[in-house]
Amino acid sequence: MSLADLQTHLGYTFRDEGRLRLALTHPSVAHESGEPTAHNQRLEFLGDAVLQLVLTHALYEKFPAFNEGPLTKARAKLVNRRTLAEHARALGIGVHLILSRGEEASGGRERASALADTFESLLGAIFLDGGFEAAREFVLREFSAAFGKLNVPPTIENPKGELQELLQARSPEAPAYHVVSTTGPDHDRVFECTVQHGGVELARGSGKSKKAAESDAALAALKKLREQT
C-alpha cells in the first residue's frame, strides 16, 4: 500500500506528509545508522497523552455517576499495548513501518510493541498536523466499537472501599454494616447484612460469609446512590 492508502485507512489526510513519515520511523533506524536520525519516540510521547485525554473525557461524559476508580479501570480496559497493536494491525500500519535491517529481519513489522508505539506516534502526528479536534475524531472513530460495549465500567474490586470513598464526599462518618439474619444449615450458611450511613439503611446484601454479605450490600448501595445522582 502507498501512504495515500494508509491515510485513507486512517481517515485523515496529512497536510505535511513528513509528519506521517516521521511517525512511521522506528527508533532502530537511528540506532543502526549510529548518527542523529529523527524517529517516532517523541510523537509517541505526545500521542499517548492525547489518547489518554480524549478517552478520559469520553468516559467522564459517558459515566457521570462514577468516580475515579471505576473510570480508571474502564480506561485501562480500552487502552493497553495489546489493544493498540490490534488497532495498528487493522489499519495496516506494519507494512509502512520504516525499520532498520536488523529490526526488519527479526520480525519488527509484526511486533506488538512496535505497532502499539506507532499507533500512538500517528495520533501525535495527527494532533500536530490537524489539531486536537482531528485527533479526537480519529480516537473516537477507532474506539467507537469497544467504547460502545462499555455499558458499565468494569467490575468493582473493592465495593466497601468504593462506597466509603463516595460517602466521604458527603460526611466523614463511615458506613456501618450489621448482620441481620443467618439462615441455612451450618455447612451452608447464608448471611444477610445491612449497610447504614447516618442512621439510614442504604441497602441489604447476602452471601455465604459475613464478608461476602457486606460486599454485596455495599454493591447494592453503590448502585442505588449512583442512580440517584
For domain 3-148, the question of CATH label 1.10.1740.10 is answered with no
Domain spanning 159-228, CATH class? alpha beta
In whole angstroms, give the CA distance from residue 228 to residue 196: 17
With a cut of 60, say whether residue 1 has pLDDT above it.
no
Residues of the chain with CATH 1.10.1520.10: 3-148
Instruction: Report the alpha-carbon distance of residue 6 to residue 192 in Å, rounded.
Output: 59
The whole-number pLDDT of residue 93 equals 93
CATH 3.30.160.20 placement within the chain: 159-228
Kindly state the DSSP code that residue 225 receives in the 8-state scheme: H
Among the listed residues 99, 94, 96, the one whose alpha carbon sits nearest the alpha carbon of residue 111: 94
pLDDT of residue 186: 84
In the chain, % of residues over pLDDT 70: 94
pLDDT of 88 > 90? The answer is yes
What is the average pLDDT value for the chain, to the nearest integer?
A: 88
pLDDT of residue 72: 82
Running DSSP on this structure, what letter comes out for residue 19?
A: H
Backbone angles phi, psi at 100, to 5 degrees: -75, 165
Q: What is the pLDDT of residues 126-179, one digit of tens each?
A: 999 999 999 999 999 999 888 877 765 555 668 888 888 888 877 888 899 999
Report pLDDT for 155. Answer: 57
Integer Cα distance of 160 and 113 in angstroms: 37
Question: What pLDDT, in 10s, does the model give residues 8-32?
Answer: 999 999 999 999 999 999 988 887 7
- What's residue 197's pLDDT? 93
225 pLDDT above the threshold of 90: no
Which range of 90-94, 101-105, 156-160 scores highest in mean pLDDT? It is 90-94
pLDDT, residue 188, reads 87
Quote the cell numbers at residue 22: 516521521
Mean pLDDT of 201-222: 91
Tens of pLDDT along 27-64? Answer: 888 877 667 789 999 999 999 999 999 999 999 998 88
Distance in angstroms (rounded) separating the CA atoms of residues 168 and 164: 6
By annotation, the residues acting in catalysis are 48, 120
Sign of CA dihedral 53, 59, 64, 69: negative
Q: Does the pLDDT value for residue 214 go beyond 90?
A: yes
